[in-house]
Structure 1
Amino acid sequence: MPAPSERTTFALSPSGRLGGELSRRLFLGGAGGAALAGLLAACAGEGGTSGTVQAPVAATPTAPKRGGTLRAGSPPPPTAVDPLTMYDGSAIAIVQLVADYLIWLDRDFKLVPRLAEKWAAEEGGKKWAFTLRQGVTFSDGTPLDAETVKASFDRLLDPDGKSAALSAFDTVLAKGGVSVRDATTVVFTLERAFSDFPYLVSAGNYNTLILKKDYKGGFTEKPIGTGPFLLESYDPSAGATFTRNPKYWEPGRPYLDGVEIKFYADDQADLLALQSGEIDVQILSRASLTGPLKGLADITVDQVAGTGLTAFTLRVDKPPFDDGQVRQAIAYALDRPGVNATVYDGVGALGNDHLLASLFPAAPKDIAQRAKDPAKVAALLGGRKLSFTLTYDPPSKDYALTIQNQLKQVGIEVVLDQRTSAEFYGGDQAKDTPWLFTDANLVGWAGRAVPSQFIIPMVKSGGVWNGSKYANPALDAAAKAYDAATGDAERKAQAEIIAKALNEDAPVIITVWSGTVRAYNGRRFTGIAAHPASYVDFTSVSQL
């Protein structure tokens, strides 16, 4: 499902809890980015969107101080910590300290080589060959090779494995599509040309960690990986401890001797622990709580723009939302700057009811920003009284209350229907789960590095997470052409078709693209930063 969002309580859904206001938010395997210009070039070299990439590893901080243990606070994972099925921010953070990806996503969402040194498109983007880094071993001494990588993706692509990564590969890569060319080369044969494919096998698809060939579950009991730390202990109610991995492939990293993650039942307890000095950093920070702490005492709050969102979804196949004028009336009734200030502490960027965030290089620039317009609302409704029920789970409560209040000001009645997260994302995903089948709902999606990770599941006809039941053949065709395009001009042309269709039809109202913050003790540690998906990379963290 989508992916984590801000606090962590995720369920297989589009959300998750990894970034911005990520709470049970859709994490589908993507994450937003700040300053995504150059995103496409990173995928294939400076000349285009496909080809070979061999980016340098991030620069080493000046004179890092080795040693020490970083204490981090996080909510307890709601389910088992398993790389294949995890979908919450806490579990993802734990696993990312121990295991590694072919490609990392930097805070500006550049593709950064990890276990893969380079990659290249073949056959017009229908095949992709990845060359593995040599000399990498798992923490138990087992060498990394192409067969191991193939086995990892075969597990992810197995429908019976119930991996949260499957949705990202939908219509792009199917079971049986991964092969070995030689000991250090893995080949992905796609169902269709997809020029952004490297993002789908990167940390942007957070379940795509490379595990041993014989992995069968029980990660916390037998935590073997190629990452910077070793998991020494795990208590589902208390936390986890990690020590430096002496076999880590990157010379000299990490600088820390270890990491300790402590679990806290709620955001306030986590924040109080940071203020008191009980912890040094939050894994998942909430902008509305950390905002007042900026510049106070030892606390530093880092902030990065992102592409996370809360989708205000309207069922276009059922009254009253089968009427496009009704959907537009709701869109014009909302005060977007007010939503940003109230729900996101002003950290976000205004949305315009389409899925091409301004951070995406292909985002259209000529669609007027939709703003609150009570007169237009009245004209669109033509004297009709409008009342509907809005369904959501606890992480979206503040947003739901804000929408209810704003729509009340223009005479639209909203009845709030809060469900538990388990209920909201539960049920039969094909016919009755509330987040996909109620008339109007709020679903948090963690940011994605490329727009296709939103478009394919959310608004394409028959999309796996198409809660609006929207279907538009012109959009479908443009989305397919966008994915296959290898030039920026063609991408922008198709992106404009997609954006204009969504802005006009308004099956999903997007008021704000959320940013992400991370609070930490800036007098004790350096190298800590916010990440658009709330990922943790502690390899460069050192004591001051």
Structure 2
Amino acid sequence: MDRRQLLSGAGLAGLAVVLKACGVASDPAAEPGAASGAPKRGGVLRAGSPPPPTAVDPVTMYDGTAIAIVQLVAEYLIWLDQDFKLVPRLAESWQPADGGKRWTFKLRPGVTFSDGTPLDAETVKASFDRLLDPASKSAALSAFATVLKAGGVRVATPDSVEFTLERPFSDFPYLVSAGNYNALILKRDYAGDFTKAAVGTGPFVLKSYNASTGAVFARNEKYWDAGRPYLDGVEIKFYADDQADLLALQGGDIDAQILSRPDLAKPLAGTGAIAADTVKGTGVTVLTLRTDQAPFDRKEVRQAVAYGLGRPAILDSIGSGVGDLGNDHLIAPLFPAAPADLPQRALDRAKVAELLKTAGLTELRFTLTFEPPAKDYAVTIQNQLQQVGITVELDQRSSKDFYGGDQSKDTPWLNTAANLVGWAGRAVPSQLVIPMVKSGGTWNGSKYANPALDAAADAYDTAATDADRKAAAATVAKILHEDVPVIIAYWSGAVRAYNPRKFRGVRAHPAQYVDFSTVSKA
């Protein structure tokens, strides 16, 4: 897994979070939750997706298709739903102790794997021991980072597991949820080759897999949630590109997409037999400014760039209108602790001129470095800033070059004066704040260091109440909004296109996760 895939989830998945979906369909009665009566059982849902670029392995996967395949078969202790809530799955409850440094999870009784093996605490411990082993090369290691280390998991009772953390962390349940997409519970003897012998506790059983054509699933007759899934099965078909996938949906060869592109799918919503369910998210492309060298060592210069951007236009053109405006801090609107009283920064030409004058500059020129997926965004920034008298030279690198080099001294994405980096959605603010802007953060490309910010971030992590958490988050947001080491113009969202005349209950997810256990025939 390369650095770009770890940060942006290959543009498809990552540590994700969700908000309420609002769908647009040609048939309102077919929208999720709108139809009345009992779900109609039966049917096979055909879904399109690109082929996975690497092996489908729950421990090491990072792409959206592999994650979708595995999530049909295996489960997490906790799921993240479209309301940004933690939903009990294999764990039915969890409790903190020692100020949030120790957590105990009680397992759901009566759960078995599809081969009949009972779920127990030893199995859960083995799953996390596997992820915490550096030899596993799992992306989950970056999520646990400074919070949970190898040896921190023990069996408390046959049906409960205890996690002892490196430090108090009030949002720890998110790290063992679907927000940490590798944190699936697998059998104790799992040793790879998932597609050859896929065993899980999930709603479906993998019947066949072909790396070129797709995967076929049947309902799991041993599923713990009585009565579900409603479908007889799921078939995932692989398509080489987004256009072919969408044409298959239009032509009736598939009934839904796993990975819909908002700019392609959203315009088709309400036309023919296509609906598009939409969610907001916490995925973000960050404009990072080096605070330790001119010209961005002056706060006024960084603020000038921030005031030179027209955020609604960026959200509409680059974000396809799906998402939220950004306000130059890392507490996304979807996080429960997001501040509501911080004034929204907006385009202000007079303010740009005033700030540059205060910094002693008659003009501002800088180079913006980026990789190909961010090209349209880079061009938009260049055009908008030109309108306020700031000149931006574009420096496009290949993704390999952008994330290559020595991560400690010369890799472009961490060491150029200004750059654009895509981050997949995170489950909690700390997963953005700690690596990106905290002093000495692993991926602190701005080289920003502020003891007040560090203290506020620590206070957020250890907060015992929602009120304390919101107070700490407000301080983090205020500091970042004022100092502007990173510019957040918008937070991205996601779309899932489907045929509402055939199925209901198909929902979008910002990380493109799938939960087809409640999908039924229309």
**Match of residue 382, structure 2, among 383, 398, 404:** 404
What letter is aligned with 2:373? P
What letter is aligned with 2:19? G
Partner of 2:185: 210
Partner of 1:538: 516
Secondary structure in structure 2 of the residue aligned to 1:192: coil
Q: 1:394: Cα distance to partner?
A: 3.0
Gaps of 5+ in 1: 2-8, 18-22, 36-57
CA distance in 1 between counterparts of 2:238 and 2:290 reads: 38
Q: 1:429: Cα distance to partner?
A: 4.1
1:353-387 C-alpha deviation (Å, 9 max, x unpaired): 00112222222222211111122222222344333
What letter is aligned with 2:494? T
What letter is aligned with 2:260? S
CA distance in 2 between counterparts of 1:394 and 1:260 reads: 32
Partner of 1:41: none
Q: 1:11: Cα distance to partner?
A: 4.3
What letter is aligned with 1:204? G
**Any conservation in 1 of the 2:12–2:511 contact (CA below 8 Å)?**
no
Q: 1:395: Cα distance to partner?
A: 2.7
Q: 1:289: Cα distance to partner?
A: 1.5
Cα 1:299–1:406 change in 2 (3 A) is: same
**Any conservation in 2 of the 1:16–1:444 contact (CA below 8 Å)?**
no
Q: TM-score, normalised by structure 1?
A: 0.88
CA distance in 2 between counterparts of 1:487 and 1:465 reads: 29
1:385-415 C-alpha deviation (Å, 9 max, x unpaired): 3333323333322222211211222232323
Partner of 1:147: 122
Partner of 2:336: 361
Whether 2:243 is the aligned partner of 1:256: answer no
1:81-117 C-alpha deviation (Å, 9 max, x unpaired): 2212222211111111111000001111211111111
What letter is aligned with 1:33? L
1:292-313 C-alpha deviation (Å, 9 max, x unpaired): 1121111111112222211111
Cα 1:254–1:406 change in 2 (3 A) is: same
CA distance in 2 between counterparts of 1:434 and 1:240 reads: 38
Q: What pairs with 1:286-301 in structure 2 (closer than 5 Å)?
A: 286-301=261-276
**Any conservation in 2 of the 1:226–1:248 contact (CA below 8 Å)?**
yes
**Match of residue 17, structure 2, among 31, 35, 40:** 31
Secondary structure in structure 2 of the residue aligned to 1:307: coil
**Match of residue 77, structure 1, among 13, 30, 52:** 52
Q: What pairs with 1:3-82 in structure 2 (closer than 5 Å)?
A: 11-16=4-9, 23=11, 27=14, 29-34=15-20, 62-82=37-57
Q: What pairs with 1:78-117 in structure 2 (closer than 5 Å)?
A: 78-117=53-92
Cα 1:183–1:127 change in 2 (3 A) is: same
Cα 1:127–1:87 change in 2 (3 A) is: same
Q: 1:60: Cα distance to partner?
A: 12
**Match of residue 510, structure 1, among 476, 485, 488:** 488
**Match of residue 415, structure 1, among 372, 386, 393:** 393
Whether 2:438 is the aligned partner of 1:460: answer yes
CA distance in 1 between counterparts of 2:292 and 2:259 reads: 37
Partner of 1:226: 201
Q: 1:444: Cα distance to partner?
A: 2.0
Secondary structure in structure 1 of the residue aligned to 2:6: coil
CA distance in 1 between counterparts of 2:169 and 2:35 reads: 33
**Any conservation in 1 of the 2:18–2:279 contact (CA below 8 Å)?**
no
Cα 1:78–1:428 change in 2 (3 A) is: farther
Q: 1:200: Cα distance to partner?
A: 0.8
**Any conservation in 2 of the 1:100–1:226 contact (CA below 8 Å)?**
yes
**Any conservation in 1 of the 2:174–2:180 contact (CA below 8 Å)?**
yes
Q: 1:432: Cα distance to partner?
A: 4.1
Cα 1:456–1:197 change in 2 (3 A) is: same
Cα 1:96–1:325 change in 2 (3 A) is: same
Secondary structure in structure 2 of the residue aligned to 1:12: helix
Compare 430-439 and 531-540 and name the one that shifted more: 430-439
**Any conservation in 2 of the 1:310–1:445 contact (CA below 8 Å)?**
yes
Compare 77-86 and 423-432 and name the one that shifted more: 423-432
1:495-543 C-alpha deviation (Å, 9 max, x unpaired): 1211111111111110111222111001000110112322100001111
CA distance in 1 between counterparts of 2:407 and 2:212 reads: 29
Secondary structure in structure 2 of the residue aligned to 1:117: strand
1:174-200 C-alpha deviation (Å, 9 max, x unpaired): 111101111111000111111111111
**Any conservation in 1 of the 2:16–2:510 contact (CA below 8 Å)?**
no
**Match of residue 480, structure 1, among 443, 448, 458:** 458
What letter is aligned with 2:8? S
CA distance in 1 between counterparts of 2:300 and 2:504 reads: 52
Cα 1:61–1:86 change in 2 (3 A) is: farther
Partner of 1:200: 175
CA distance in 2 between counterparts of 1:517 and 1:60 reads: 21
Cα 1:322–1:234 change in 2 (3 A) is: farther
- RMSD over aligned Cα atoms: 2.2
Secondary structure in structure 2 of the residue aligned to 1:143: coil
What letter is aligned with 1:31? V
**Match of residue 310, structure 2, among 307, 312, 335:** 335
CA distance in 2 between counterparts of 1:532 and 1:12 reads: 16
What letter is aligned with 2:138? S
Cα 1:108–1:261 change in 2 (3 A) is: same
CA distance in 2 between counterparts of 1:163 and 1:469 reads: 27
Whether 2:271 is the aligned partner of 1:271: answer no
CA distance in 1 between counterparts of 2:115 and 2:36 reads: 29
Compare 461-470 and 499-508 and name the one that shifted more: 461-470
Whether 2:100 is the aligned partner of 1:125: answer yes
Q: 1:223: Cα distance to partner?
A: 1.6
Whether 2:311 is the aligned partner of 1:325: answer no
Share of identical aligned residues, percent? 69
Whether 2:150 is the aligned partner of 1:175: answer yes
Partner of 2:29: none
Compare 77-86 and 479-488 and name the one that shifted more: 77-86
Secondary structure in structure 2 of the residue aligned to 1:16: helix
Cα 1:513–1:352 change in 2 (3 A) is: same
Secondary structure in structure 2 of the residue aligned to 1:147: helix
Partner of 1:20: none
**Any conservation in 2 of the 1:173–1:191 contact (CA below 8 Å)?**
yes
